[in-house]
Chains A and B, each alone.
Chain A
Amino acid sequence: MAVSTTIWVILGAAVATYLTRVGGHAVLSRFERIPPRVEAALNAVPAAVLTAIVAPYAVFFGLAEAITIAAAIVLALRLPTLAMLGLCWALVWVLRQAI
């Protein structure tokens, strides 16, 4: 049986992820301290990438989706992620029927 592309991507991602987990200790710990700009850049990566994935949904996918994203931002300030997820799931479903 040929191994699917999906399996190769998963294994590649697994190796890359393990390297990030050991890499900090193996490489960065050789420095007396991490240069502040490098630390700031590394620390910003997850928020930056995830924002980049979400942003188009607020602009290009329709009114129901845009309203839901706006509501989600406000709700996430007050509620745990799971509660926000539940409410906004219901909201986008209702808005899609209504609009």
Chain B
Amino acid sequence: MTASQPDFWRGVRDAVPIMIAVAPFGLLFGALAAENGMTPFEATLMSATVYAGASQMVGIELFGADIAPWIIVFSILAVNFRHVLYSATMGQTIGSYSRLQKALAFALMTDPQFATTEQKAEKGAATPFAWYLGLALPVYALWVAEAWLGAVFGSLIDDPAAYAIDFLLPLYFLGMVMGFRGRANWLPVVAASAVASVAAYHFVGSPWHVSLGGLAGVVVAAIIGVRPGHKLVV
């Protein structure tokens, strides 16, 4: 164990920039969850077990509306489906971990966790399990604590629309979409989803614009495909 301690602390150092970037969004999640009627316990439970920012925001957006539970679960699943690609790639990078270590490593795998691990491996740096935990655990602890903190303070605000807090979620999603713009097929995917979503919202009604709009973008991406040897961009 003593041999792996320097690796752990090397991971913690690498976690600092991630924590700075993530910190405001952990609090924002807690506060918006409270605005949408979640208790601090529920918000904290969601951060601790789902542990995927964008999808948690999608969850609270849909909790606010009168939507069947399975559609909410399905929408969260859809947003998190990208993990399948990360997992296939990172599984090779952490191939030397034991089964149990892999099971835990994947539970803590987020966009920045994946990106940092792959960057290190690409530079030829070692990515042992102790380092991985050092990178992942502080971010996880921060994220879970912030959900509780944000929800406790968020529940003190009584009229979200008066402060335009209701519009923070769509803006956050838009920011995420713009953040993905380096990905393959981004513009055609986003254009197709936007048009299909607006049409579905008008002709079919909410919440079907989410599934139908999303489906349109995915179909367009599948038709275009990717170049062989294309690199996965987070």
Contact = CB atoms under 8 A, between A and B. Distances in A.
A63 interface: no
Contacts, number: 284
Interface size class of A (residues with CB under 8 A): 35 or more
Given A13-B50, A47-B186, A73-B178, A20 B77 contact: yes
Interface of A: 4-14, 16-18, 20-29, 34, 36-60, 65, 68-69, 72-73, 76-77, 81-82, 84-85, 88-89, 92-93, 96
B217 A51 contact: yes
Nearest to B183: A43
B170 A45 contact: no
Contacts of B194: 51-52, 54-55, 58
Given A8-B69, A55-B197, A59-B198, A42 B174 contact: no
Contacts of B232: 43
A43 B92 contact: no
Given A47-B186, A84-B175, A16 B73 contact: yes
Given A48-B214, A51-B177, A23 B221 contact: no
Given A55-B193, A81-B176, A16 B210 contact: no
B85 A24 contact: yes
B115 interface: no
Contacts of A8: 69
User: Most chain-A Cβ atoms within 10 A of its Cβ — which of B76, B84, B230?
Assistant: B84
Contacts of B54: 46, 50
User: Most chain-B Cβ atoms within 10 A of its Cβ — which of A14, A60, A92?
Assistant: A14
B218 A44 contact: yes
Contact of A29 (B88, B201, B209): B88
Contact of A43 (B82, B163, B168, B173): B82
Contacts of A69: 170, 174
A73 B164 contact: no
